Amino acid sequence: MGEPASKVNVSREQLATAVRALCADFGHDYWQRADEARAYPHEFVDALTEAGYLACLIPEEYGGMGLGVREACVILEEINRSGGNAAACHAQMYTMGTLLRHGSAEQKRRYLPGIASGDLCLQAFAVTEPDAGSDTTRIRTFAERRGDRYVVNGQKVFISRVRQSDLMILLARTTPIDEVEKRTGGLSAFIVDLRDAGEALRTAPIDTMINHESCEVFFDGLEVPAGNRIGEEGRGFRYIMSGMNAERILLASESIGDGMYFIDRASDYASARKVFGRRIGENQGVQFPIADAYMDVRAAAAVRDEAAREYDGGEVRGEGPNIAKYLASRAAWKAANVAMDTFGGWGMATEYGIERKFREARLYMVAPVANNLVLSHVAMHVLGMPRSF
């Protein structure tokens, strides 16, 4: 197992080396077995937690590493470049960002030390609903204020790792949409203690083509103490969006890691595999697409680095995070297809690992935000064009 990185003044290179060493203990066979059994990779998540990496964004005063998004990017990128799947636990890193930036001092004291130590698992982030889809302002899950509590009714879909979590960040309406001036108003964010939920919260797994632990979540009169509302009532959309910007930069890093995984594997294979008496990588038809895909991943990484630097410097706009997520997901997907082509039939054989990563890499074209919605964000908010929907 790799040595934990020092909490103080850790360089990005040291961090990458330490994470790489940790990931070396969880190779292809480990991830393949978890994928086939649709099993949660507990051993890997425990090792990351123990090394402190999942608490890297939590300030030192609460027991975390006190690092920035730039360093968190290094961790997630290395996991995916090693062939692993950081999606199993990435939300433990950034979901608490909403609490950290917008929660009360009491909420931070109550939850952050436990999240930092790994005693409390906060990996669930509940926004998406079946009827609203990408149009978050149309969510219908409603939290009605009754005295010192809210009573929540409604339904979410694709809520990842809810079954592994102790806590969940929830976005719900607190004012009906037809009573607010702006559609983004009247939404509130809550920290839900899943351990107290009992029968009022039910989950049902959604089988997907990847090992991802996503669920439908049904709320039937779930009581949440008013003290668990994050920030002001009605301003939850804004709080959630600031967390989502970090999420986009971090998931872009997973795509960059995936992209480099495919390129590493494809270039090694093309340099070794002989057909027609020569290595397949001697053919420009094989080597050029790999070089082309590599350059796309490098370009996406540069945009991701810039977005992470800006985010750590206090930038709140979504331009950089959205562009990074879009470019990185496309670069990874291109690299995935190039690796598939390079491996020929063996790309589809589970023993080579390419097909598993191919399935995993596809997710980021649609989540956490569909790439079409990124295009519309850039067209409207960056280029000033009219709203298209």
Ligand X SMILES: Cc1cc2nc3c(=O)[nH]c(=O)nc-3n(C[C@H](O)[C@H](O)[C@H](O)COP(=O)(O)OP(=O)(O)OC[C@H]3O[C@@H](n4cnc5c(N)ncnc54)[C@H](O)[C@@H]3O)c2cc1C
The residues that touch ligand X, with contacts defined as CB under 6 A, are 125-128, 133-134, 158-160, 208, 212, 214, 363, 366-370, 372-373, 376, 389
User: Which CB, 79 or 172, lies closer to ligand X?
Assistant: 172
Closest CB 122 distance from ligand X, rounded Å: 12
Shortest reach from residue 269's CB to ligand X, in Å? 28
Minimum distance from residue 350 beta carbon to ligand X (Å): 20
Q: Are strands 229-230 and 274-275 parallel, antiparallel or unpaired?
A: unpaired
Enter the tokens of residue 262: 């495919």
Q: Which residue is nearest to ligand X (CB)?
A: 133
Q: How far is the CB of 85 from ligand X (least distance, A)?
A: 11
Q: Which CB, 85 or 174, lies closer to ligand X?
A: 85
Q: Taking a C-beta distance cutoff of 8 angstroms, is the pair 152, 107 a contact?
A: no
Which residue, 208 or 337, has its beta carbon nearer to ligand X?
208
Q: How far is the CB of 171 from ligand X (least distance, A)?
A: 8
* Euclidean distance between CA atoms 145 and 79, whole angstroms: 42
| Other CB atoms within 10 A of residue 102 CB | 19
Cα 80 vs. chain centroid, distance in angstroms? 12
Q: How far apart are CA 178 and CA 189, in angstroms?
A: 19
In sequence order, what are the residues at sequence separation of 6 or more whose Cβ sits closer than 8 angstroms to the Cβ of residue 37?
none
Cβ nearer to ligand X, comparing 86 with 301: 86
Return d(Cα 142, Cα 154) in angstroms, integer. 6
Nearer to ligand X, 133 or 344 (CB): 133
Chain centre distance of CA 301: 16
Least distance from ligand X to the Cβ atom of residue 282, Å: 39
Choosing from 71, 129, 213, 247, the catalytic residue is: 247
- Pick between residue 212 and residue 235 the one whose CB is nearest to ligand X: 212
The CA distance from 2 to 324, in Å, is: 29
At closest approach, how far in Å is the CB of 389 from ligand X?
4
- Closer CB to ligand X, residue 128 or residue 255? 128
Of 10 and 363, nearer to ligand X (C-beta) is 363
Looking at the DSSP bridge assignments, the partners of residue 274 are 279
Backbone angles phi, psi at 195, to 5 degrees: -70, -25
Beta strand 201-206 with 214-225 is antiparallel
Question: CA-CA distance, 89 to 349, in Å (whole number)?
Answer: 26
Rounded least distance, CB 360 to ligand X, Å: 10
Residue with tokens 């027991």: 63
Q: For the chain, where are the alpha helices, taking DSSP H only?
A: 12-23, 28-37, 42-50, 69-81, 91-94, 96-102, 105-117, 236-272, 284-312, 319-343, 354-362, 371-377
Dist CA 117 CA 64 (whole Å): 8
DSSP 8-class letter at 161 = T
Dihedral angle computed from the Cα positions of residues 321, 322, 325 and 327, in that order, rounded to the nearest 10 degrees: -120
247 labelled catalytic = yes
H helices of 204-235, in order, are none
Catalytic residues: 247
